[in-house]
């Protein structure tokens, strides 16, 4: 590969300005300790401008022992949820002059990905969607870490209010008058999904409505999972009238199953997702959902990392971001005479 092009260095600027290289560094890095004659300062600045000098961030990183780069580890960029998180992170990272190193962890190379980041001397890493416990502790311990949507007593965490998300879903259904409430979600170890489920179940139970086990479907939190789980639900002797899915992707799968079965969403069955990804507005009727602050999660993760800054090794403070109900087309009052056998 062609080597990094010959860029102008601080010494060249120094030569042109007739000062020492150090002077250039001091003046240009606006180091407060540097009290230079206005005249010299101007000369240096001008020389730098004329030459188009831009500091080599790699060299700077080496001496500062700070790369001004952050890593972000996610399972898959194709998943709109992670794309949104990364996007949010990228926004504030570049506002603050930080770079974002991308790591996409496929099934079995989490560790290698994390190592690759660490070797690049990143100043911190954001972990989302990858089980933190599956990552080598020593590796993480040496890093500034923010974990999104996972609990940890060791690292800083940041999460949506998953319990509230589930609760909101239940309240919405209950408020609409539904009493045959179903749930579709993974049996996975994922904290968010479990909490969304728990919040939902708690409110339903508290309302006195029965929690029928045949209305509680386990399925992967993706389109295929939602699809088949909904098929199971539809095959029931007595169908539920409202279904909450652990995420939008599975809700979309469920949506598809309903449409295929001729079910009129929002009337025969109310369907609610969670995440509020854009795709939800593409289907007909549009998917009602619980909005989750994806971009904000990424953005705040970066800010948190940046502030683990000057108070090194802060005690991790878990923060929880609010969620919000977004009513679109797939939810409504139960039909007078519920369908299904």
* Binding residue for DNA, selected from 21, 259, 264, 281, defined by CB under 7 A: 21
* Binding residue for a copy of itself, selected from 18, 54, 111, 137, defined by CB under 8 A: 54
DSSP reduced 3-state for 29 = coil
Q: Token pair of 39, please?
A: 């005249």
Quickly list DSSP for 225-244.
HHHHHHHHHHTSSS--SEEE
Q: How far is the CB of 17 from DNA (least distance, A)?
A: 8
Sign of CA dihedral 42, 46, 49, 54: negative
Q: Which is nearer to a copy of itself, 97 or 208 (CB)?
A: 97
Q: Token pair of 212, please?
A: 């029928």
Residue 29 engages DNA in binding (rule: CB under 7 A): yes
Say which residues have a Cβ less than 8 Å from residue 1's Cβ, sequence separation at least 6. none
Q: Token pair of 221, please?
A: 């939190």
Q: Which of 197, 193, 243 is nearest to 220 (CA)?
A: 193
Residue 281 engages a copy of itself in binding (rule: CB under 8 A): yes
DSSP 8-state code for residue 311? S
* Binding residue for DNA, selected from 33, 310, 317, 336, defined by CB under 7 A: 33
Site string for a copy of itself, 93-122 (x = CB under 8 A): -x--x-xxxxxx-x--x--xx-xxxxxxx-
Q: Which is nearer to a copy of itself, 209 or 283 (CB)?
A: 283
Q: Token pair of 296, please?
A: 């904000």
Residue 310 engages DNA in binding (rule: CB under 7 A): no
Q: Which 38-97 positions form the footprint of DNA (CB under 7 A)?
A: 39-41, 53-56, 59-60, 62-65
Q: Which 184-213 positions form the footprint of a copy of itself (CB under 8 A)?
A: none
Binding site for DNA (CB under 7 A): 7, 9-11, 18-23, 25-26, 28-29, 31, 33-37, 39-41, 53-56, 59-60, 62-65
């Amino acid at each position: 590969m062609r080597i990094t092009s010959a860029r102008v260095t601080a010494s060249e600027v120094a030569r042109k300005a007739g000062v020492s290289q150090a002077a250039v560094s001091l003046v240009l890095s606006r180091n407060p300790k540097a009290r230079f004659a206005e005249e010299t300062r101007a000369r240096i600045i001008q020389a730098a401008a004329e030459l188009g000098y831009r500091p080599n961030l790699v060299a700077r990183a080496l001496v500062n022992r700070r790369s001004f780069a952050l890593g972000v580890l996610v399972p898959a960029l194709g998943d709109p949820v992670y794309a949104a998180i990364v996007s949010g992170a990228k926004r504030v990272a570049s506002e603050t002059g930080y770079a974002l190193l991308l790591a996409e962890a496929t099934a079995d190379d989490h560790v290698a990905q994390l190592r690759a980041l660490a070797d690049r001397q990143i100043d911190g890493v954001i972990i989302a969607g990858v089980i933190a416990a599956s990552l080598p502790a020593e590796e993480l311990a040496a890093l500034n870490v923010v974990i999104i949507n996972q609990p940890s007593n060791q690292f800083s965490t940041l999460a949506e209010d998953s319990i509230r998300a589930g609760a909101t879903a239940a309240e919405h259904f209950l408020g609409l008058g539904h009493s045959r409430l179903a749930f579709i979600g993974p049996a996975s170890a994922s904290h968010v999904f479990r909490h969304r489920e728990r919040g939902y179940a708690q409110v339903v139970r508290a309302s006195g409505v029965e929690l029928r086990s045949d209305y509680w479907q386990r399925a992967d939190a993706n389109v295929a999972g939602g699809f088949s789980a909904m098929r199971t639900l539809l095959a029931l002797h007595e169908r539920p009238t409202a279904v909450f899915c652990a995420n939008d992707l599975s809700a979309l799968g469920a949506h598809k199953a309903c449409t295929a079965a001729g079910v009129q969403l929002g009337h025969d069955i109310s369907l609610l997702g969670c995440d509020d990804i854009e795709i939800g507005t593409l289907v007909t009727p549009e998917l009602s959902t619980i909005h989750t602050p994806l971009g904000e999660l990424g953005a705040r993760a970066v800010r948190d990392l940046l502030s683990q800054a000057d108070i090194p090794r802060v005690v991790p403070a878990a923060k929880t971001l609010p969620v919000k109900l977004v009513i679109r087309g797939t939810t409504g009052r139960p039909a007078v005479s519920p369908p299904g056998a």
